[in-house]
Chains A and B, each alone.
Chain A
Amino acid sequence: MPKTKSRKGKFTSVSIPIPLFRKIEEHIADTGFTSVSSYVTYILREIVAESASESSSASSAKEDQKKVKERLRALGYLD
């Protein structure tokens, strides 16, 4: 079996202005974020997820998810 590397362990660079980088560094100083990269990734994921949920029938889907989740939990599938 070939040993390939996970793309999870690979990152690509995105350029942001240095003053913004410094500001983010200050901004996350006392938060849980361990690096500017972690913070920027988190923010971008939020934006992407938000636009995805806007484009679907989010509220009924959420209610459906809740019901299915409860059943799966009771069956021990979410242990």
Chain B
Amino acid sequence: MKKAVLLGWDGVPPTLVFEELIDRMPNLRKLLQSSTYGPLRSTNPPITVPAWMSMMTGCDPGQLGIYGFRHRTPGDYKEIWIPDSTQILAPKIWDMTGEAGGKVIVIGVPPTYPPSEVNGLLVSGFLTPDIDSPYTYPERLAKTIKQLVGEYKLDVFYRTEDKDTLGAELLEMTEKRHEIAKHFMQNEEWNLFVMMEVGPDRLHHGFWRYYDTTHSRYIVSEKYRSLFIQYYEMLDRHLGELMEILPDECLFILASDHGAKEREGAFCINQWLREHGLLTLRTEPTSPTSFEDLDVDWKHTKAWAWGGYYARIFINLEGYEREGCISPDEYESFRDMLAEMLREITGPNGEKWANIVHKPEDIYQECNGEYPDLMLYLDDLHWRASGGMGYDSLYFYESDNGPDDAIHDWNGIYVIHGPNHTHSRRDNQNILDIAPTILKHLGLKVPSYMKGKTIRS
């Protein structure tokens, strides 16, 4: 079997690395000269979970039944579960490679905890409970990692004002992950090597306002702006080192699951629903309160929402929900009316927003699991949605959770280097194209349920 490498950089937007920082990234610049590359359209929603698993399975979020970091427990208004590896039922590219007899190395892809058996090695990603959990397959691999780099870092906590510590931890985490990656790449047998580095996304959330001079809350700080750039210089150095040890005739793909841009603020979607008579509370919150702690009068609530990078709107459907009050007969007309109202939400000064509203069935191949009734992106992702209530205004900028400078954007990046690829920029590739491209290179069958197209040279 041939060889392929998929290197993931979480949340890297094309303009940042293809243009703004390209002079600081000589290895990327050199790579682009002999690669097919461009923006990579993310999943809908453009969130780490489900995006990486869509890339690894070739299935859209609806096919996976994974719509974000949390999911509803059917029939329960507030109970949630967080997807782990056991809920990803579609085979990943490493499962297919392993089944065909190929050896695999998988590092850092979410969610891969608890680690499943693979034909090779697996180090789970940042959705691992902690480093004391059995986070590798085989389990003894964790000992090798400890010998190589000491205390391995799965993630960093980026919602902090202590930027010095965050910066140091980011650099340490990424150094260690690449150290073990290079070790395994050189010393273990593999046909497919997959690694995901979560650091860029954490850097954006923690430091974007120090880098982006157009950020509405831009802070002049040479120190943190330099740190932002220094992080990318380090990523570039590791990219160069990986390229040097890459076997001949190996397909190499660098890809991001989504992009990043300035975060404007948060919009209280449940407060808005209440203002429009669609949500009723039994008890008034006296201060900002998360949705799960609110006393909702469900019998008199027609719709409620979850926040995040997008708002998931749920309709309180009779027969489906415990205290549903929208009858099946009026469900579709109510949903259409609500979609129209959501599109019309405006900004804090009444300015028009570029809101996007989807019905899940309109955008997915199929809808599995507990999907929302409507999906809402506020001002083309610039504004997050907050499910909390008890705020003075529908709009707020900072929260008790600590600072967060960036929000996701629709386009990540892809760079493909290998047999037959020459310098060529292509702007219309999709995250679902990665799995079939790798399978085809490895000489494996591309399943018919994968709707992505092989990226050609």
Contacts and interface: CB of A to CB of B under 8 A. Distances in A.
A6 B74 contact: no
A78 B157 CA distance: 15
B325 A41 contact: no
Interface string A64-79: 1101110110111111
A67 B323 CA distance: 31
A2 interface: yes
Interface in B313-354: 315, 317-325, 328, 331-332, 335
A79 B389 CA distance: 10
B361 interface: yes
B269 to A, nearest CB: 10
A11 B133 contact: no
A39 to B, nearest CB: 8
A8 B86 contact: no
Contacts of A72: 69-70, 82
Nearest to A37: B319
B373 A11 contact: no
Given A45-B75, A74-B401, A5 B308 contact: no
B228 to A, nearest CB: 20
B114 A6 contact: no
Interface string A40-79: 0110011001000000100001011101110110111111
Contacts of A46: 75
B133 A64 contact: yes
A33 B75 CA distance: 11
Main secondary structure of the interface of B (DSSP, over half): loop
B266 A79 contact: yes
> Which of the four size classes fits the interface of chain B?
35 or more
A78 to B, nearest CB: 6
A10 B324 contact: no
B127 A6 contact: no
Contact of A7 (B128, B133, B367): B367
Nearest to B75: A45
A37 B323 CA distance: 11
A15 interface: no
Interface stretch (B166-174, B380-388, B432-440): B380-388
Interface in B294-328: 298-299, 307-308, 315, 317-325, 328
A67 to B, nearest CB: 4
Given A64-B129, A65-B81, A41 B320 contact: yes
A6 B361 contact: yes
Given A37-B319, A38-B324, A77-B70, A65 B82 contact: yes
B10 interface: no
A65 to B, nearest CB: 6
Given A4-B361, A75-B158, A38 B82 contact: no
B84 interface: yes
Nearest to A64: B129
A77 B320 contact: no
A74 B332 contact: no
A79 B74 contact: no
B70 A64 contact: no
B322 A42 contact: yes
B129 A68 contact: yes
A6 B333 CA distance: 12
Contacts of A22: none
Contacts of A77: 69-70, 308
Given A3-B362, A34-B318, A68-B129, A74 B157 contact: yes
A41 B320 CA distance: 7
B299 A64 contact: no
Given A41-B75, A68-B129, A76 B401 contact: yes
A61 B111 CA distance: 14
Nearest to A66: B129
Contacts of A76: 159, 399, 401-402, 404
Interface in B66-123: 69-70, 73-75, 80-82, 84, 86, 113-114
A61 B385 CA distance: 29
Given A35-B319, A41-B320, A79 B387 contact: yes
A79 B80 CA distance: 13
B24 interface: no
Contacts of A20: none
Contacts of B401: 74-76, 79
A1 interface: yes
Q: Which 9 A-B pairs have the closest CB atoms?
A: A67-B129, A9-B331, A37-B319, A76-B401, A79-B307, A45-B75, A4-B361, A32-B323, A64-B129
9 contacts: A1-B363, A11-B320, A34-B323, A61-B84, A69-B80, A72-B69, A72-B82, A75-B157, A76-B159
Given A46-B75, A61-B84, 11 more contacts: A5-B361, A33-B322, A34-B299, A49-B74, A64-B133, A68-B128, A72-B69, A74-B401, A75-B157, A76-B401, A79-B399
